[in-house]
Each structure stands twice: as C-alpha cells, then as structure tokens.
Structure 1
C-alpha cells in the first residue's frame, strides 16, 4: 500500500483523537470558570447499560420526579482549562420547608465503580428522614456509568472472562489466568486510553469539590459507604476546610496497601461465612446445608472443589464454575438479608443446579437478565489500578498463598490471585495507600460494623486514627453485613440522623447492637 502523505497522517491522527475523546465523554477545551456553571436539571432517563440498565426511577412520594443533570469537569485536573468530561448527577429536592433546608447531601455508595445515579433511587426511601432537610444528591464518578465510562470487553467477551478459573492449580492454569488478565487490561487501554490516567480517587474528590460549589454549598455534606469512605477521606485531606457534616459507613482501612486490603477481606468474608454457618445450624429447624457449622463449611468446600473439576448447569448455556460459585457466595455474604438465598443456592447446587448462585454472581459482576453488563468491573479495575502503586507477579502471589489460606480456607486463594488484576496496566498506580489526614476538618462520624465482610471492622478505628485528632468520631455497630445504616438498626440510624440533621455529634465510642 502507498505510504500516506504527511497531511493524511495528520488528519488520521486528529480523527483518532476526536474519536478517543468522544468515547471518553470529552468536550472541547474551555476558558470559562467551571465553578460558575449552571446545571440544567431535567427528569431522569432510564439508566444507561453502563449504569446497569432498567427503567427510569419511579416518582418520589408525593409524585415528584427525580432530576438529573450533567456537571462539566476538567478531564485532567492538572490542566483545568483543557478538555472536559461530563459527570452525571441525580437529585431529589428536599421534602421539608425551604427555611429548614441545610443544603445538598452527596452520596457515594462505593465500588469503586458503582453508579450513584442508578443506586440512589433504589435506596431513596431509606433516606426519607434526611431528605426533610437536604437535597439528596449522588453521581456517577468519572469512569463510571454516564461519566466518561471506561470501556474494556463487550458483553459476550465478559461472559467468557467471568468463567475463567480464578484459582489456578498448576503452571498452565496460572499462565492462562495471567494471559486473560493482560487481554482484559489491553482492551481497557485500547478502548479508553484517554480517560484511564484521570480516574484516580483524587480526581473524583476534586470533582466533588467542584460539585459542592456548583450546587451552591459552602460546605460539602457527605454520606460515603464502603469505597465512598475512602473517597470521603481523600476529599477531607484535600479540602479539610470544606467538610460539612460527613458520615463514613462500612469503612475502608486507609492504611493498607492492596495486598493487605485483600488479606483483610479474606478474613472478613471468612468471618461472615462462619456467622452464616452458625446462624443456619442454630435455628430450631434443621439447617438444609449442613448438620453443624463446620459441616456447612466442609460441604461448601467440597462443592467448590467439585466445580473446579466439572462445572454444573447455570443459566441458559452458561455453566456455574468454581469461580462463579465463589463470587456468588461472597455476594450473598454482603447482607444478612441474602443468607436465605445463599441457603437456597447451595441446596440447588448440591443437586446439580447452579442457577441461584449464578444469579448472585451475575449481580456482583453487574450482569443484567438480558445479558448486558454495567461497566462496574471495568471502572473498579481502572480506579483501583490508577490508585494502587503495587504490582504483583504470579511468583509473588504464590509466596503469599499460605497466609491467605490461613486467613480463609474458602476465599483465600480467590483473593490472593486477584492481586494480579493490575498486571501490565497502562497507568502507574499513585500510592501504596490513600492519604486521609484531615487536620482542621469538621467532625466526621465513622461507623464500623463488627460483622462486615468487605470492609472489616478494624478499618473504622484505622480511619479515625488516620483522619487525625479531633476529626474522626467512631461508632460501633455489633451486627452483620456490609455497612450499618441500611441494617435499619434504630440506634445507628438515630445517631447518624441526629448528626446530619441537627449537627449533634454522638459520643466517641458509642456502641449499637
């Protein structure tokens, strides 16, 4: 083929950049002050496939519609006058009188990678009391949902990706896992290279401060759950004087690197499994999945070993693999409300039917009934790999396997091998762990759950210490599941509501059960 002229090369380069920017949700560079922009609030459309799909949010009590808007933010905060991206927002206007309104209460529900635009309406009724004095606001963080979403594999490719063996037993399986990881990461770079360097938690925190200004608030009032506590801590570090009333629930340990965090999760999910097994076998009726707590765990271990050798039928043409079953069990341990589904799923799987466990696994992976995936996995990996500096090899994981297996016979291998996720990632990780020191910040209520599988209870105390003297105020909930406020525990909700609605800080060390 003839060599293109320099003019043609320049044109092709320009077209490639425009396409890359369009895929990333970018706009042209700008000169206006973004903090002075006016949001155009409109009735919300149905969630996009990247947000999880489904119907438009139902009207609020009283018939008021949820409203959505797009915030314009710099693609690169180091170049605030450069290209911009859109940050998708959702809100429910306060239900109380205007003279009682405090401001906006911004939610982040975690992940990283979860869509706040689709999640807030699903749980909006849980925050009805808070809505009496706040506009409830959430958003899709950059890289997520409608906010310059990271794109990696397509739906059919993701079906194959999630069937891979995540706990390799020999060198061939280890090589295959590493190859699959590299292929996924290469697809992210190919499809989203312009946005990948700009999805760090520090970028999202700066977006939130811009959001605060555009919403017209002097202070950011904030409710962070799970990863949302890390995002809130980073915000408090960057903008301590801008922190209003803030609550962290289901608290990430900010002192841990990615390996320590995964090891902590292994212990947390094992504790939750122990609690599930004890609960099932302590009921007046027989536990259908084991005679004793140990028997429950032994039977689950045997199921997973059997699935490693031979998957069983799942949904449609898909089969339930060992990895999918482990994923489904972990999903059910996020909430005590899901334990009945875990029992049902295990009963079915013992009879050769993997449908319930696969539904749970699909939920974890963001797969809808019609086979479409949200971009939660792509966004989760992209944000974590941009944040976390360590990179691991198969040899390094093998050396750490004994410690992970000691932490959890069931989940240890699965979480240890997940350390390979950022292998050959296109962007260097920012740090070993986030900096959340926030001298000068207003008090932040930090709520830890003793039975939390995903963010173990110890993380709450570490967050309080890292925030600094006089900032973090710890509250303990002796319960099960991920987070505390949505457990409906009256003691927890009274403490959180009291702080957010009246400014009354609970006594440090308060315990709810």
Structure 2
C-alpha cells in the first residue's frame, strides 16, 4: 500500500537529478503529547530520570564506514560509530539498542561543535544521505562536525522489515481507492497484514521508535559527543523531531534550523488533508507552467487514473502500472521543480498506453531497484508514524471525509482520504498522542524555513510551528519557491540567511521573505 505522507525524498531527488543538563534530565519536564486538548505522558517516554553513566560516559569508536543499503561506501573523510541507547526510555537501566552514527570532522580551525542532521521520512537514513547532502554545504563542514544517524527503527539502527520483496510487490495491486465492498475488505486486510508482519518480525521494538524516543536519543548523542548545546538541522519530518526536542530540552537548544516544516497542530487526518492540498497546489503550478489550466489539466489526470484503476497499463518490464503506482509516479517529480519535465514525458507516455515511465518514477519513490529488491524506509515510516498517532479512523468515518478531500484535491484527495483508514488499521501497538507537543519556553531562537510551493509539507505549517514553539522562539523565513525544502535549492537569500544563523549566530527578522 502506498502512502505519500513521506516528509522527505532527498536521496531519491539526488538519483533523479543526477543540551546543558547532565544525566539526561529534561529541561522541559515530561515527554508529553497533545491529546484531545490536554497534555498527557507519552507511553514510551516515561519520566526524565537520570541516565546511568554507562550511557552518558560511553566513548564512540569511530572507524571507517561501510556501504549502506544501495549507497556506496563514503569517502575517507567519513567515520562511523555505534551509540548505545535505552530501548525504553522509561527504563534507562534496562535493555539497550544500537544507533548507527556517521560524521565528518570540521575542516577548519574555528570549530563550533557538532551539527546533527535528520533528513525526515520518517525513515530516512542519515548514514546514506549525509555524505551526499554535505557536498552541497561546504561552508557548514568547515566549522561543524557534520553528524547524522539512522534513527531507531531505521536502516543500520535496528531497522524494521515488515514484508518480503514478494509481499511488497503483491500489495501494489491492492486498490487504494476501493469502489466495492470486496475492494474495501481487501484494502483493510492488506493494512492489517502489514501490521502483523511488523509485530512478528520486530516484536517489542515497534513500541519504542516514536519521535519522542528519537528526541531523547538526540540528547544522549549531544552528551556523548561533548556538546554543551544542541546544534541541529531538521528537514521535513526532521522538523517535528526538532520541535519535540526543543520542548523536552529547551535550555539545551543551540542553533536549530527547521526546513520544510511539518504542521505540529495537525493530527493524522489533518496531515492527510494538508498533503492533499500541498500536492494539488504543486501539481497546479506544474500544469500552469506547461500552459495548461490547473482545473483542465487535473481533470485530464483524474480521467487517466480512472482508466488505469479499471485496467492497469502495460509496461516494458512486464509489470502492470496500477492506480497506486501511477499516483506515486505523479507525486515523485513534484518534489523538485527540475523534475517537472520528467512528469510531462511520463504522463504523455501513459496517455499513449505505456506506463513504463510512471512505473520507474514510482519505483524510485518506493526504493525498489532493478532486481526487485525494496529498501525498508517505508516500513520504518509506517511503524514510527503509527506509534506517534492515536488516530485509528473507521471506514465509516473515512467515507465522511472523502467528499471534502476530493474537493481539496481531485487528483490526490481520494487516495489520501482512504489512507486515513488504511495506514494504521488494526495496528498492534497503541498510538501515543493526537499531535506532538513542541512548546519550548526558554529556548534560544529557532529558525524555521518555509517554501510556499512545498508539496509534502505545505507552507502553512511553518507559521503554526512558529506559533506553537512560542513568541520570540520560532523565527520564520519564507521562500517563494517550488519543490520540497528550501536550503540549497537555488536561493542565495535563503542559503546566506541560514549560513549566517548557523555560522555567526545571526538571527534574521521574523517574517523575512526571499523571492
């Protein structure tokens, strides 16, 4: 089953475009989430109890990195190590798990400290992404040790796998916009089977991979790395991680950048609707750039999808292009304006009856290689997001949303509306909260970067994050651009403002706009 609520696609874009307290105590109190208008403890976080010295005093054994997933071995400037962290943060003296880290040491003499990166997803691998990403940010590498990691449940850090390659490919034939009772039954059965596969394969781990758990892991990293303050660059879902960190450890906040900001006020239904709006907006911008009207062009795509739903298209590989794969293939190029010509070619081919190009785009997004092997980022994404959210809508509740979702986005609304029922259906672990708590009284100013054309994390969420962080803490920088995220995407204004904040500590005026 496909889901577009994947809050970053940085590595795929590259392919297409060839905290002051010791002992782990919290300056923000309990790890809490917002639940039905009130705050309540997150089940897996527990109290902010002091950590054993075996964790806080551990020495990282940095050595040569190995190849990760389908990524090549990083260059000699990159080092890798393993950090030990509690499986259950409520029991810091109990069982531990290993977190895989990567770093490149600062290349200049005027070192500030470590700069941690989270590339989103949830489920994106820092080990695979940072070496590529760092090549476009040489200024930061002169004064910071650039550090990232595979968060718990991801990649080399006890990554989860819930299905075999054969099972993943079989699930792609499931109708994601069911029209009959039989299709509804198959849709929900597939969703439940995925959760059962996660539970069977990963056991207790899937109850301890929440955003709150990851935020606490970050503060342990800060201590072990020897940094008095947390300097952090969060992209997409990584902005939610950063907001939760700031709430838990406000006095430990150093220089935090949140780029492509997730709306912290949105629950699961709200995120789906936000993405329907964001992807439709990006699609409209694309259609207008090609000389088509947004309404006329969208209707043409809706008609194409209906034909594919009724009869999947043939492809050169022998596989069929289903509606789910076609939608995924359309989504993929919207992450970068430079990829729009690829979408034009793929849509034209599909109109002529050939689904090969849309299938290739969908495979790229779904991390499927030419041999039919899938990486597990989408598994990690689902496990993490279903642990984070309490919402488990019924089919009846979902059906009441469909008309509104279709009005928001005739192309993506039906799929994302149904997704509210299917994504965490019959999930084996209870969700932690309705929406995350990110208020951070006492934190240093945090720079939020919002792109008005961002499809995956619509711009409106940036202001909402700023408001929830607190007055004078969330500082908003706007870029009138296209594609997902802003830094390093071609705006000298954005890049210079972010660099001044990270390198000199210069906080821009709240509301600055880069056109």
2:146 counterpart of 1:145: no
Task: Structure 2: state its 5+ residue gaps.
Answer: 1-50
Whether the 8 Å contact between 2:176 and 2:415 is mirrored in structure 1 is yes
Q: Bigger shift: 327-336 or 500-509?
A: 327-336
What whole-Å deviation, never above 9, does each CA across 1:104-139 have from its counterpart, x for those lacking one?
A: 110001110111110111222111111111011111
Whether the 8 Å contact between 1:276 and 1:339 is mirrored in structure 2 is yes
Structure 1 residue aligned with 2:66? 45
Structure 1 residue aligned with 2:511? 509
Distance in 1 between residues matched to 2:147 and 2:122, nearest whole Å:
18
3-state SS of the aligned residue for 1:402? Answer: helix
1:40 positional shift: 1.1
Whether the 8 Å contact between 2:317 and 2:356 is mirrored in structure 1 is no
2:190 counterpart of 1:190: no
Structure 1 residue aligned with 2:78? 66
Aligned residues: CA RMSD: 1.3
What whole-Å deviation, never above 9, does each CA across 1:402-442 have from its counterpart, x for those lacking one?
A: 11011000000110111121111111111100000000111
Distance in 2 between residues matched to 1:273 and 1:177, nearest whole Å:
27
What whole-Å deviation, never above 9, does each CA across 1:460-512 have from its counterpart, x for those lacking one?
A: 00000000111100011111111111312100001000000000001111000
Q: How does 1:77-476 map to 2 (within 5 A)?
A: 77-97=89-109, 100-281=110-291, 292-314=293-315, 316-419=317-420, 420-476=422-478
1:208 positional shift: 0.4
Distance in 2 between residues matched to 1:262 and 1:321, nearest whole Å:
21
Task: Tell me the TM-score normalised to structure 2 length.
Answer: 0.88
Whether the 8 Å contact between 1:113 and 1:144 is mirrored in structure 2 is yes
1:292 positional shift: 4.3
3-state SS of the aligned residue for 1:442? Answer: coil
Whether the 8 Å contact between 1:315 and 1:358 is mirrored in structure 2 is no
Distance in 2 between residues matched to 1:341 and 1:293, nearest whole Å:
18
Whether the 8 Å contact between 2:494 and 2:514 is mirrored in structure 1 is yes
3-state SS of the aligned residue for 1:486? Answer: coil
Task: Structure 1: state its 5+ residue gaps.
Answer: 1-29, 282-290
1:297 positional shift: 2.1
Whether the 8 Å contact between 2:71 and 2:128 is mirrored in structure 1 is no
1:317 positional shift: 3.1
Whether the 8 Å contact between 1:75 and 1:198 is mirrored in structure 2 is yes
Distance in 2 between residues matched to 1:125 and 1:45, nearest whole Å:
19
3-state SS of the aligned residue for 1:451? Answer: coil
**Residue number among 50, 59, 73 corresponding to 1:56 in the alignment:** 73
3-state SS of the aligned residue for 2:507? Answer: coil
1:374 positional shift: 1.4
1:203 positional shift: 0.2
Distance in 1 between residues matched to 2:178 and 2:270, nearest whole Å:
21
Distance in 2 between residues matched to 1:152 and 1:266, nearest whole Å:
27
Task: Tell me the TM-score normalised to structure 1 length.
Answer: 0.89
Of structures 1 and 2, the one with the larger relative CO (CA 8 A, separation 6+) is 2
Q: Rg larger in 1 or in 2?
A: 1
3-state SS of the aligned residue for 1:132? Answer: helix
Distance in 2 between residues matched to 1:462 and 1:473, nearest whole Å:
11
Q: Bigger shift: 306-315 or 383-392?
A: 306-315
Whether the 8 Å contact between 2:299 and 2:410 is mirrored in structure 1 is no
Distance in 1 between residues matched to 2:189 and 2:314, nearest whole Å:
26
Distance in 1 between residues matched to 2:456 and 2:183, nearest whole Å:
27
Structure 1 residue aligned with 2:20? none
1:258 positional shift: 0.5
* Residues paired across the two proteins, number: 464
